[in-house]
Structure 1
Amino acid sequence: MTENIFADAPADLVLTGRVAGRVYTDPEIFEQEMTKIFERTWVWVAHESELPKPGTFKSTQVGRQPVVVSRDRKGNLHTLLNRCRHRGASVCEKPQGQANGFTCPYHAWSYGLDGTLRGIPYPEGYEGVLDKKDLSLRRLRTESYGGMVFATFDDHIEPLTDFLGDAKLWLDRFMKQGGGYPIKVLGRHQFRFRGNWKIQLENTTDGYHFPIVHRSWMASVDAETADMMSFMTDPAAITHALGNGHSVMQMVPAHSDLDADDGAEPLQGRFGHVVAELSKTLDEAQVRKLVRAMHGTGFNLNLFPNVSMSSAFFRVLRPISVDETLIEHIAIGPDGPPALDVVNRERLRIHEHFQGPFGFGTPDDAEGWDRVQRGAQAAPEMPILVNRGLAREQADEHGWPTSHVTDETGMRAAYDQWKQMMSNDQHR
């Protein structure tokens, strides 16, 4: 029998380089995570391009609580709890769209785009009983940075820019893949896997698994792409912990800042048709920026707790239960003139080649996540190891804990934040 080295309190389930297996399997821990983490921190809910004009909206969740993100007539963004103030019915069931407001289908209470209660049918029965101004949809605090929209139930939390901290530098770099144009959402797909949300959170900062799990993808791409992603023995390929649970994994350091281009790197031959099409309307420098960014940036940015900016797409996780998680993969590309259509078509094909049910990457990842969940049911006192690279981790010139890209620095950063938040017994 394995000796149990962990105490019972959730905050004691994370030790240096080790995590108790039951953080994946204990329903009570999961319930505490929903309250102590997902209802007390900034959670990503949308990209501004999904709400391009007044009246547009998107339905999503903060933890397990349904919300609607909307843009009002003045252009302001709101995140509204998707729950009528009358009898609790959801006021919006469409995933996205455009509307003048939201009306509950049960008793037709109607709300503005900012959540204000506008109308109640047959109001005579409410005279002297209620005041409409007191019954707006519940609003979550909503802020955005770099086009990324976050919401929180905690009105007293630090500003979003403080929460992002040093991750802002990498978020700014990620947005440069528009090649001088803003980024927009091109499309998305969702799937569920039978595993805990933290298993996926770990994956985006796990360079160690890439050449093992993704051998079929590596064998399916051209030699230039395969060579670019052969980072296992590259000493320049590193991972940084950025604070507040965030981390960045630099797989292709030469593409970490797409503005840092000396012109020596040849463009991949596979994109010759894109170069030819773009060259009809854009100058050589613009074409080079767009094509060089075709695979996105050379890093994965993990933002605790629910979104990563992974090379060329957003990966969003949504906890459903202790052993089930919904994943959303969101393809992105430059938002510009029709001449860029060829770029976005190619980016979608690249995205589909790795992501989705017919991709060469996602099915293999999901199999690994499923197996971790099944295996974690055995010997729950046995630790999960996140100690790779611990002995060679050191602070860089920015003070960021740093180690090789195959090391588990990013996972340790996420679990340090998890431990801190799960230790906080303050209630909303």
Structure 2
Amino acid sequence: MAKYGQNAGAIAALVREAEVHRDVYVDPEIFELEMEHLFPNSWIYVGHASQLGKPGDFITANIGRQPVLASRHTDGSIHVFYNRCPHKGVKIASEPCGNTGKFFRCPYHAWSFKTDGSLLAIPLKKGYEGTGFDDTQANEGLSKVRNVVIYRDFIFARLSDDGVSFEDYFGESLSTIDNMVDRSPEGKLAVQATPIRYMHTCNWKMLVENQTDTCHPMVAHESSAGTAVKVWKREQGSSTETPMAVQLYGPFMSPYEFYEQSGIRIWPNGHGHTGVANSIHSNYSDIEGYLGQMVAAYGEQRAHEILGEVRHNTVYFPNIMVKGAVQILRNFIPIAVDRTLVESWVYRLVGAPDKLYERALMYNRFINAPTSIVGHDDLEMYERAQEGLKSNGNQWVNLRRLYESHEEQDVTAVINGTSERQMRNQFHAWSKFMTMDMDKRVEAAE
């Protein structure tokens, strides 16, 4: 028997002002309700326009449980569809990406569709004459996702017909994407490599929360990043140049005071970022020629403004994180209540020195890969939490650090860098987007 069903009140009760019930992480029913409500009601990242470089290129993705397909049409436009044939429901494309040529062809009965989704041909179509086929939805071709926005080549979609507009959903948080794109002297990013994919045996929200958890690095990563720093101090001798690996690992051991002063900025609808005044990416060595390229492109003042904004992790609710300073996006894809596929994408700054791309690729391998010594620290904590939350001793997760009574919701604010307010911000958004359409559905059913 369903414990929560379509009961908006029961689901909202899982989120208190500074606590959340363990069911948000461990209950399979809650997970399925997220797939049914949260993800369709939110704006979800589908992919990047550079992955669709020429007509016929396509990528596939999932929004909750819904498989979707994005393609570049012959006129250069990009379209997003539900990834199913309107005949028998077979997925049109099963690969993560590829080029379909001039049309998509269903592998079951050879129905074919133009790359804008319109129906192209059906074998033996005369068999449909006089059947009323022309008046069916199937005759319209692939079903389009109607709410699609391409923002600076980032493709977002919302499945629900009604909901918060793209502009109102993201608001000022889009400044992180702006900054990442503007770091290219040409104002353009490009995906040139497949992502690192890494399965995590935990709930997807644990990964999202961890992106703005600044009280764990110096603890959880002491044995990995801390050891790397100790070894370098022991072995560096007279060297004055810090190896790239140490530059990437070392800041994880920054003290609490560093993170407190760095700050966190929260935005409405669950978005927020660490590293307002400073971040672990601030002190990487300069890349020869890069500043000159930026000054030539933007002017002295604007170039320094762009490069001086060195945010750490920006969470775009519900399930992506952007590192503008190293051109990385991590997509936390829910598979099951205790399984999350993490895709870590690296973008090239078009027109910038190759060394910047090499550094971003290195960061991704060192920090986000299954072979990462740092990533395994986090995964062990997620697995322990997933197991520990089965305990009946306490069914509530505490998010009270630097909590102030009657905190305002859906506001923009800069706060102490070790606050858990961004986590509270995310769960406020979780409750809102989980329940915003439930009352309507219940009324319609009655």
* TM range, smaller chain: 0.7 to 0.9
Q: Structure 2 matches for 1:21-420, cutoff 5 A? A: 21-99=22-100, 100-129=102-131, 130-131=133-134, 134-135=137-138, 136-140=141-145, 141-187=147-193, 188-215=195-222, 216-220=224-228, 222=242, 230=254, 232-234=256-258, 235-250=260-275, 253=278, 268=285, 274-275=287-288, 278=289, 285=295, 297-311=310-324, 312=326, 313-336=328-351, 340-379=353-392, 382-391=395-404, 400-420=412-432
CA distance in structure 2 between the aligned counterparts of 1:231 and 1:133, rounded to whole angstroms? 63
- Contact map agreement 1:21 1:380 (CA 8 A) in 2: no
Give the secondary structure class of the aligned counterpart of 1:416: helix
What is the identity, as a one-letter code, of the residue corresponding to 1:301?
A: T
**What's the CA shift for 1:284?**
8.8
Secondary structure of 1:38 counterpart: helix
Instruction: Normalising by structure 1, report the TM-score.
Output: 0.84
**What amino acid is aligned across from residue 342 of structure 2 in structure 1?**
I
CA drift of 1:173 comes to 2.1
Normalized per residue, the structure richer in strand is: 1
Please, which moves more after superposition, 177-186 or 135-144?
A: 177-186
What SS does the aligned partner of 2:343 have?
strand
Identity of counterpart residues, as a percentage?
Answer: 28
1:320 & 1:284 partners in 2: Cα distance? 41
DSSP 3-state at the match of 1:331: strand
Q: How far did 1:285 drift? A: 4.8
More helix by share: 2
Letter in 2 for 1:113: T
SS at match of 1:34: helix
Cα distance in structure 2, aligned partners of 1:91 and 1:49: 22
103-112 or 288-297: bigger deviation: 288-297
Contact 1:20 1:381 (8 Å CA) reproduced = no
Given that 1:356 and 1:363 are in contact with CA atoms closer than 8 Å, whether structure 2 keeps it comes out as no
Q: Closer, same or farther in 2 for the Cα pair 1:93/1:156, shift >3 Å?
A: same
Structure 1 residues not aligned, in runs of 5+: 1-6, 259-264
CA contact under 8 A between 1:59 and 1:94: conserved in structure 2? yes
- Residue 53 (structure 1) shift: 2.7
Residues 34-79 of structure 1: per-residue CA shift (max 9 Å, x gap): 1111112211111222222322211111112211111212222211
Aligned residues: 403
**CA RMSD in angstroms, aligned pairs only:** 3.3
Q: Cα–Cα, structure 1 residues 378 and 255, in superposed 2: closer, same or farther, change >3 Å?
A: closer
Q: Provide, for residues 185-207 of structure 1, a one-character-per-residue CA deviation record: whole Å limited to 9, x for no partner.
A: 24311121111111111111211
Unaligned runs of 5+ in 2: 1-7, 230-241
> Do 2:21 and 2:396's aligned partners in 1 also have CA atoms closer than 8 Å?
yes
